[in-house]
A and B are shown apart, each in its own frame.
Chain A
């Protein structure tokens, strides 16, 4: 039973560029959330997808957008990258809307130079 997978594991981008991160949820899970984790901090909630729609959103600008596909996998897109966007981006899945028992993937380490 595969857990949550994310790609790529590491990424280096230049300020102003755009990036797409990908996530496949744990088998049987249909709800996907994205988090940004800066070094030494707790994860910050970006948004949550269920039934291919964004259901909840944290305090992140519109530069952060996402998508969920019919197979429940998800993408996080960040436009016009800033140096401050450098962080570990975590995807978490859960077995159903309103279930807060989340299973995290290994994350994508994004570095913006």
Chain B
């Protein structure tokens, strides 16, 4: 079964509010990727983090990879309606390189 938990499963925020999703793996990951999937669409690659403790920013999005390489977070500042979608974390397990995905956090923006 899934070994990557994402919290929360669903989040409704008012437009302009901040949003954070957390990704927790039961096993160490070699690296981690984040994807965004719009309703009815397919996952779109956002970013990859490789180093322990790494932090990367893309405009209003901030991504962090934990020191133990088992957890990660995505923070969106001042959400916009275009941020609607499901955000997935994924990565290869360090022990066998098999790629595992979280179940995703579905973000809904209230206008």
Contact = CB atoms under 8 A, between A and B. Distances in A.
Interface string B71-96: 00000000000000000101110001
Interface of B: 2, 4, 6, 30-31, 33, 35, 41-45, 48, 88, 90-92, 96-104
A105 interface: yes
Interface centre among A42, A45, A103 (most CB of B within 10 A): A42
Interface residues of A, number: 20
A43 B101 contact: yes
A41 B103 CA distance: 5
Contacts of B104: 41-42
A100 B44 contact: no
Nearest to A6: B42
A77 to B, nearest CB: 21
Nearest to B99: A45
Nearest to B32: A100
A42 B6 CA distance: 10
A33 B99 contact: yes
Given A42-B102, A45-B99, A56-B96, 12 more contacts: A41-B103, A41-B104, A42-B90, A42-B101, A45-B101, A48-B99, A92-B43, A100-B48, A100-B90, A101-B45, A102-B33, A105-B42
